[in-house]
Amino acid sequence: MTSIIEFQTEFEIGIEDLWNAITKAKFDVLRKAAPHLPIDAQVVESDGGPCPVVSITIRSATPPLSPFKEKMVKYDETSHAVSFQAIDGGLLELGFAYYNVSFKLDDLGEDKTLTKTTIIYEIVKDFDGTQVVKEFAKLIDEYIKTVVNYLQQQKLQEMNS
C-alpha cells in the first residue's frame, strides 16, 4: 500500500539559490554543509540530461546505510519541482519496497522560499516500518534545513567581506 508524508517549511533564502543547491550542485553543497558525513556520489548512468542515475555512499550514517542508487525522475526548472526515486540499496534494504522524494519550491519574495516536501513510499509486506519511516522523514527534513543553513551562512560571509 502506497503512503504519503507531506510537510512544508518557509525559509529565508532565495528560490534560485535553494533550487541550485538541491539539484545541480546537490552533492557539492551537501559535502560542504555536512562535512561530518563523508559522501561519495558518482553518476552511473546518464543520457546527458538533468536526470542521471547516481550511486551514493554515506559513510558513518546513523543508522548505517548501505550504498544506494537514486534517479532524478522529475526536473522542472520552470516550476522548481524535482523528484528523486530510489532504485537500489539503502533504505530499500531496510524495509522500503519503494520511495520517491519530491521538493516543490515556491518564491515568496524578499529572499523567502516555501519548500513543499512529499515522500511517497511503500513498505515491504509483513514489516512494521513505523520507526524507519519516521527516521527517514526526519532525515529529509534535516537535509533541507542543513542545506538552507549552509546557504544562509555563505550569504552572510559574502555580505561581511
pLDDT at 62 over 60: no
Nearest CA-CA partner of 143 in 17, 14, 9, 30: 30
68: cell is: 544506494
pLDDT digits (tens, 9 = 90+) for 70-96: 999 999 999 999 999 999 998 898 889
Nearest CA-CA partner of 81 in 56, 54, 107: 107
* CA angle centred on 119, ends 62 and 73, rounded to 5°: 105
Burial class (CB in 10 A: 0-12, 13-18, 19+), 18: buried
Domains of the chain: 2-160 (3.30.530.20)
pLDDT digits (tens, 9 = 90+) for 9-44: 999 999 999 999 999 899 899 889 988 877 888 888
pLDDT at 57 over 90: no
pLDDT for position 159: 87
* CA angle centred on 28, ends 98 and 112, rounded to 5°: 80
Q: What is the pTM of this model?
A: 0.89
Least confident of 59-63, 90-94, 127-131, 157-161: 59-63
User: How many C-beta neighbours within 10 Å does residue 24 have?
Assistant: 12
Average pLDDT over residues 46-51: 74
Q: What is the radius of gyration, based on Cα positions, of the chain?
A: 16
